[in-house]
Amino acid sequence: MSEPAPAPRLQSLINQLQPGAARRVKVTGFDGSDVLVQLVDAGGEESETGRIPGHEASMRRVGHASELFEVGQEINAEEIGRWREGELLFSARACEIPALRSFLLSLERGQVVTGTVAEVHNFGVFVHVDGEPDGLCTGFIRMPDLKWGWINHPSEAVEADQRITAEVITTQTRSGQVTLSLKALREDPLIRFADQVGHVLTGPIIRIVPSGVFVQLARDVVGFLHLSELTDKSVETPEQLVDAGELITVKVAEVDLQRHRVRLGAAGEADGIQSCDRERSPGAGCSPLGLWPRRSGLGRGYFSGLLSSRTDTLRA
């Protein structure tokens, strides 16, 4: 099951990453770290000039492009666009390993592939995709593309040597990589959750950031409550008002399927929630929305039990 179509700006970026046409060019010189080239047409005649930026010369690390090419040499390079003055730009690295380029070009967005997890890092997962050239590792899964639910590290979703099935997001001949998604093959939980707009729900705060808090609303569904919804008073950080793990009752204001976001709002008296008056109950303490006692004599053990019970209920 594929994800919703990307936003226009993201789609534009994806289009820019799509492989360009491979052209035959002749090296005519060097300009700093760049390689100056001239197109060679099918008849062998020279035509329009262009350049290969230094970072597009090779996937290998070299001191200077002259270590790779010599004047008069003909090579294949991928056309990647034009500079501001209209000069053609090419990538030699995109055509450096013919078998790799052929493999990447054989993959299409939305195609389902299989592979084996090679390495797990805090920023994502590298995958040996079935059919890739020997000695190479072509697949990569960003942390947000591992699963719909909230995770703190990719190791919570996969492990090294694990066999996986994933969907192709995009292929990049210039980096020699195919970007994959595991969660694209699973139903977006927000599709079933979308009818909860306007409902009042209670869940634990799973993360606090300077601008607000993230609240677990259901299995694999997390919503964001902005700091301005927590209080009308001026505070520097939500941590002055709430704690991670604390239960809070909120109203679902919006479910954005396109950006996969849930925006939350404060649940007030109109929603059947009794507000807390700090001035009339000094020292009692309460969370900003008057929902759950905070720093009271009940202690953390009491709330841990509530949290465990509530989380089990949500997941059921």
How many Cβ atoms from other residues are within 10 Å of residue 54's Cβ?
16
What own/partner pairs with CB < 8 Å and gap ≥ 24 does 4-8 have?
4/188, 4/257, 4/258, 4/260, 5/258, 7/258, 7/259
Query: With the C-alpha atoms ordered 232, 264, 295, 151, is the resulting torsion angle positive or negative?
Result: negative
Residue 235 has a pLDDT of 86
Kind of pairing, strands 177-181 and 139-142? parallel
Mean pLDDT check: name the lowest of 9-23, 162-176, 270-284.
270-284
User: How far apart are alpha carbons 78 and 100 in whole angstroms?
Assistant: 14
Segment 89-111, tens digit of pLDDT: 999 999 999 999 999 999 999 99
Q: If pLDDT is split at 50, 70 and 90, which confidence band does 80 have?
A: very high
Q: If pLDDT is split at 50, 70 and 90, which confidence band does 7 have?
A: low
User: How far apart are alpha carbons 173 and 78 in whole angstroms?
Assistant: 9
- Tell me the average pLDDT across 165-186: 96
Residue 150 has a pLDDT of 84
3-state secondary structure of 145: helix
Examine the pLDDT at 203 and tell me if it is beyond 90. yes
Q: What percent of the chain has pLDDT over 70?
A: 78
Residue 274 has a pLDDT of 46
3-state secondary structure of 122: coil
Examine the pLDDT at 315 and tell me if it is beyond 70. no
| Predicted TM-score of the model (pTM) | 0.70
Higher pLDDT, 60 or 300: 60
> Of 241, 253, 252, 239, whose CA–CA distance to 209 is shortest?
239
Structure tokens at 41: 């047409």
User: How far apart are alpha carbons 226 and 257 in whole angstroms?
Assistant: 19
Q: If pLDDT is split at 50, 70 and 90, which confidence band does 19 have?
A: confident
Distances (CA, A) of 282 to 232, 252, 276, 279: 18, 30, 11, 6
- Helix ranges (H only) for the chain are 8-17, 98-105, 189-193, 227-230, 299-315
Cβ distance 196 to 251 under 8 Å?
no
User: How far apart are alpha carbons 80 and 88 in whole angstroms?
Assistant: 8
Structure tokens at 219: 């299995």
Residue 43 has a pLDDT of 62
Please name the residue that has the structure tokens 């969907």: 167
> In whole numbers, what is the pLDDT of the chain averaged over residues?
82
Segment 224-257, tens digit of pLDDT: 999 999 888 888 889 989 999 999 999 999 999 9
